[in-house]
Amino acid sequence: MDRIEILAMLEAAASLVEIDSIRQIVLKKAQELGFYMTPEAEPVKVLPRSQNIALLTKRMPTDYHFGTFFVPAFAGQLGRAGYTLMMNEISPDELRSKTLPTHMSPEQTAGIIVIELFDKEYLNMLYDLGIPTISIDACYGADTSLLRCDIISMENTASTFTLTNHVISAGARRLGFVGDVKHCNSFHERWTGFCFALCSAGLPLDQALCILDSDDFPYYDPEWLRSKIQAMSVMPDAFICANDFIALGTMTALKRKGVSIPDEVMVAGFDGIPQSAFVEPALTTAQIPSNDIGRLAADMLLSRIENPDRPFQSTYVKTIPLWRDSTARK
């Protein structure tokens, strides 16, 4: 038995003695044997771990966005783990000044999830906070940037390649793409799949048949889209759109122009939002498993909170093409 063990036994014995005079005798004897009591340390104040998860976005998901179903699944998974999701929409001023939302305190934030926020400088500010962070999708050019957080995304290139091949097989020879390919990494990957399909089929890429303006322009406005289509010298056989929201606007623009879908122009989107099934004609698209991504994102963030030093990872989740009437030529 070493000296430390003996001292521990003497301390335990002293603490059990109710008569203070006897306790002092025990402690004095310990000193005679060469053991000395150290002053009691101040109790360490352990702050309770914050249970808040901050969702940061440039715009809250709407009915026309896959995030409408992603967020409830994500929040539900977090809730079962004892966390509370705090949703924050970044204002234009906060985006410009690279500041956090007024009601967000880093000290009270256990983790961050980023959705529909593709400003590189703002994201770098977030990463510098050192708070476990996961991003749904990523900035344009993310494939050439070093990872600074975990990223989870839907699979884009293969599904868009398959959608484009589908309309080519249905007879399309002049194809256009609609959407800002630099809006985010997913849009750029969908553009890549589109271009790869054209190349594989031996068809030319004609950007005069594409609408690739910055998303500062009103893709939500069918009249603006109609004017862009009207300016084309030749009508495409098919439009592959960056998402369903843009595809639905493109279909409205074509209808206002008196163009028959799919007999004159085929249209395909991406996301698989509910509206895509009920528009006339029903929209061919790629289904994103929003609920599954929500649960997976929650698991990844919780794992990052528990293991902050493990290497960052980028994860893709399979998407599924859905063949509908907007590409079904008779």
In this prediction, residue 10 has a pLDDT band, given cuts at 50, 70 and 90, of: very low
Put simply, whether the predicted model's pTM sits higher than 0.85 gets the answer no
- Tokens for 278, please give them: 């009920």
Give me the residues paired with residue 158 across strands: none
Report the share of the chain in percent with pLDDT over 90.
77
Predicted pLDDT at 34: 45
pLDDT digits (tens, 9 = 90+) for 185-217: 999 999 999 999 999 999 999 999 999 999 999
Predicted pLDDT at 7: 45
In this prediction, residue 60 has a pLDDT band, given cuts at 50, 70 and 90, of: confident
Predicted pLDDT at 38: 40
pLDDT digits (tens, 9 = 90+) for 156-182: 999 999 999 999 999 999 999 999 999
DSSP 8-state code for residue 43: P
Residue length of the chain: 330
CA-nearest of 330, 301, 324 to 149 is: 301
> 23 burial class (0-12, 13-18, 19+ CB within 10 angstroms)?
middle
pLDDT digits (tens, 9 = 90+) for 73-104: 999 999 999 999 999 999 999 999 999 998 89
Predicted pLDDT at 214: 96
Coil vs helix vs strand at 38: coil
